[in-house]
Amino acid sequence: MNDLNNCTFIGRITKVVELQYTNNGIPFSKFSIAVNKKKKDKESVSFFNMVIWGKTAENLTQYLSKGKLVSIICEACQSRWENDEGAQSRIEFNVQSIQLLGGESKNESVQRKPYQPVKHVEKYVGPEEFVDDIPF
């Protein structure tokens, strides 16, 4: 039986996100989010390191700008290694689902196209133009 490892965060991206590739050509993006917490009169901020893999990283990285509010569902993963300082570890969160929230952040400089109204259908098909042979 697998244990449950599922985390949900809503926070703001802390820096510009860059698309990278592993030696095997797998795309990924690493970034961190700041999650604010207010309890009574005290405020605190926690930072969490995220990783997006594959096509999701390729498709979304361009929209993940500093200050953007996001909702993330992810899985916590612990990396362990040893170096001359001894045993080391780091916890990162592998993103399973990400949703962009709110409007543009004040740091975004995206040029939007002006609103284009939808073209209306030129010919109306009324009930008199339907075939009388309806199968039900």
Residues 2, 38: Cα–Cα separation, whole Å: 34
The β-bridge relationship of strands 42-53 and 27-39 is antiparallel
Please, how many CA atoms are within 13 Å of residue 21, restricted to the half-sphere of its CB?
6
Other CB atoms within 10 Å distance of the CB of residue 14: 16
User: Residue 21: its pLDDT value, please?
Assistant: 92
Residue 20 domain flag: yes
Domain contains 134? no
Which pLDDT does position 68 carry in this prediction?
94
* Dist CA 112 CA 105 (whole Å): 14
pTM for the whole thing?
0.68
pLDDT recorded at residue 109: 47
**What CA–CA distance (Å, rounded) separates 46 from 132?**
67
Task: List the structure tokens of 24.
Answer: 């095997």
pLDDT reported for residue 121? 46
Does residue 54 belong to any structural domain of this protein? yes
Q: Which residues form the domain of 99?
A: 7-129
User: What is the distance between the alpha carbons of residues 63 and 74, in angstroms, rounded to a whole number?
Assistant: 18
Q: What is the pLDDT along the chain (136 residues), one digit of tens a residue?
A: 778 899 999 999 998 898 999 999 999 999 999 999 988 889 999 999 999 999 999 999 888 999 999 999 999 999 898 999 999 999 999 999 999 997 655 555 444 445 454 444 444 444 554 455 555 5
Residue 135 lies in a domain: no
CA distances from 11 to 33, 50, 103, 109 (A): 6, 12, 14, 20
What's the CATH code of the domain at 16?
Answer: 2.40.50.140
Count of structural domains within the chain: 1
**33 belongs to a structural domain:** yes
